[in-house]
């Protein structure tokens, strides 16, 4: 088995601030994902990466950057936090890009 | 591109009753199909998946789902629900064409004692 760790669990920032969320997995999976989940809604894909140093834009990439410098870690940066993007950010990984995904517990973002 | 529709935003059932959560997908080929569950303040956990073969797949905790290609459906079923099954359930589909998984909006299941 393995685990996905997301840090921090809770992130509070000011409007306009640059904020970074981190994700680590020890499954040795190739593919990693970042999703945004607004309250009571489904998941929207922000970025994904099929291997180290690869980045692919999802449906909601505007306003975000991502970085995959190691196979085990995938970071997401909110370039300028806005109040309308308060949500839970979920990281996931999979052995290949169509296969089942394993999820972390999420980072809850609050923008003041 | 593929998509997933979960027509019921919220389903309420009594403990011990049977359950069906509906899912329809849009994709012309043969998809990979998934059901995930999300408990409060947690990430998603896989309940079951369909890749090929027997269209009825068994998952954890007594859940099963049936792939019906002619209807583009993958409904989730359970014979007898427990209060601990209260959660949000997501149906998802992936395809060869773009190597991604698309999620439905989820169905909130409330199990009444």
Do A98 and B94 lie within an 8 Å CB cutoff? yes
**B91: containing domain:** 3-112
Closest-CA residue of chain A to B105: A42
Report the domain count for chain B: 1
Q: What is the pLDDT of residue A1?
A: 80
pLDDT, average across residues A82-95:
91
Percent over 90 (pLDDT), chain B: 79
Paired tokens of B50:
């369909």
The answer as to whether A105 is a domain residue is no
Question: Any idea what the CATH number is for the domain that residue A23 is in?
Answer: 2.60.40.10
Paired tokens of B11:
């389903």
Supply the mean pLDDT for chain A: 93
A100: chain B residues, CB-CB within 8 Å: 34, 46, 49
Paired tokens of A111:
């923008």
d(CA B40, CA A30): 28
pLDDT tens per residue, range B13-67: 999 999 999 999 998 777 899 999 999 888 899 999 998 899 999 999 999 999 9
pLDDT tens per residue, range A34-52: 999 998 788 999 999 999 9
Distance from CA of B83 to the nearest CA of A (A): 20
Which of A97-101, B3-7, B84-88 has the lowest average pLDDT?
Answer: A97-101
Please report the DSSP string for A54-112 in residue order.
Answer: --EE-TT-TTEEEEEEETTEEEEEESS--GGG-EEEEEEEESSTTS--EE---EEEEE-
Question: Any idea what the CATH number is for the domain that residue B24 is in?
Answer: 2.60.40.10
Which of B90, B95, B100 is the closest to A45 by Cβ? B100
Closest-CA residue of chain B to A4: B43
**A69: containing domain:** 4-88
Residue B4 pLDDT > 80: yes
Q: How confident is the model at residue A99 (pLDDT cuts 50, 70, 90)?
A: confident
Distance from CA of B13 to the nearest CA of A (A): 19
d(CA B42, CA B19): 23
Of the candidates B109, B103, B81, the one whose C-alpha atom is nearest the C-alpha of residue B11 is: B109
Residues 6+ apart with CB under 8 A from B113: B14, B15, B83
Give yes or no for a contact between A13 and A26, defined as CB atoms under 8 angstroms apart: no
């Amino acid at each position: 088995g393995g685990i996905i760790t997301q840090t921090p669990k809770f992130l509070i920032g000011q409007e306009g601030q640059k904020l970074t969320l981190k994700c680590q997995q020890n499954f040795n999976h190739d593919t990693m994902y970042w999703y945004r989940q607004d309250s009571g809604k489904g998941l929207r894909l922000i970025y994904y990466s099929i291997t180290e140093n690869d980045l692919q834009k999802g449906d909601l990439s505007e306003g975000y950057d991502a970085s995959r410098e190691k196979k085990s870690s995938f970071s997401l940066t909110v370039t300028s936090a806005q109040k309308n993007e308060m949500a839970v950010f979920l990281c996931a990984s999979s052995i290949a890009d169509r296969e089942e995904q394993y999820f972390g517990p999420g980072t809850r973002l609050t923008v003041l | 591109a593929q998509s997933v529709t979960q027509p019921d935003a919220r389903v309420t059932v009594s403990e011990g009753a049977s359950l069906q959560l509906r899912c329809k997908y849009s994709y012309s080929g043969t998809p990979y199909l998934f059901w995930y569950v999300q408990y409060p303040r947690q990430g998603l956990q896989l309940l079951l998946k369909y890749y090929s073969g027997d269209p009825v797949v068994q998952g954890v905790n007594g859940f099963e789902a049936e792939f019906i290609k002619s209807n583009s459906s993958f409904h989730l079923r359970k014979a007898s629900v427990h209060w601990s099954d209260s959660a949000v359930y997501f149906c998802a589909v992936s395809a060869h064409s773009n190597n991604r998984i698309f999620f439905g909006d989820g169905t909130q299941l409330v199990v009444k004692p």
